[in-house]
Amino acid sequence: MKGCVFDLDGVITDTAKFHFAAWSQLAKEKLNLELPASFETELKGVSRIDSLNRILEFGGVKTDYTTEQVQAMAAEKNGYYLKAIEKLTRDDILPGINDLIAQLKEHQILMALASASKNAPAILEKLGLMNAFDAIADPAKVAHGKPAPDIFLAGAAAINLDPSECVGVEDAVAGVQSIKDAGMVAVAVGDAHELAKADKVVPTTADFSYDLFEKTYEQAHK
């Protein structure tokens, strides 16, 4: 293992709740639609436009809006979201992540971020982690969002590594698929049954460690 390519939401910090609150606000104000709490999983790890398309499909109104209107609504949702994450601080880094970053650095493991969020740099700044990562893959420059492998491939390329030399870290089904299709070893956090395609699943980020990643990588390459 020479590199680690991380998702952001649910792995480094939990901003999913802010995303869903922003989508719920937009759905209510613009579409007169109440999103059930269970719908949050539908939007996990999915790009902004794809998320909005899923909401429009859920409301049965996908054909009612032009591409321009969809773009405008997505931008409006982002405004709600940015306002919500203003309050993020170092205290919002998930358990075990600071220790993991220190361990990876100690072993000269390169780190890249592969998030579907265009707000990733702003979030890292607020968490005080901007200098922890060697590169951030730009989701605006990849052709396809997760579950396609594009963003993880871009993450590996950004740290000049072959995907086979990297471990990808995720918390979403779409993200794990993305990692596997990129040709990386996948470590996931969350429900073991739901994330069964990953090479290793742990219940919480506090279980992450360099040793866990390295062992998982070695076993996958046997």
- From the centroid of its chain, how far is CA 42? 14
Show the 3-state SS of 130-159.
HHHCCEECCHHHCCCCCCCCHHHHHHHHHC
Q: Which of 16, 2, 10, 44 is nearest to 208 (CA)?
A: 10
Examine the residue annotation and report whether 99 is marked as an active-site residue of this protein.
no
pTM: 0.82
From 9, 150, 171, 199, active-site residue: 9
From 7, 150, 171, 199, active-site residue: 7
Instruction: From first to last of the 222 residues of the chain, give the pLDDT tens digit.
Output: 999 999 999 999 998 788 899 999 999 999 999 999 999 988 877 888 999 999 999 999 988 899 999 999 999 999 998 898 888 999 999 999 999 999 999 999 999 999 988 889 999 999 999 999 999 999 999 999 899 999 999 999 999 999 999 999 999 999 999 999 999 999 999 999 999 999 999 999 999 999 999 999 999 999
Examine the residue annotation and report whether 150 is marked as an active-site residue of this protein.
no
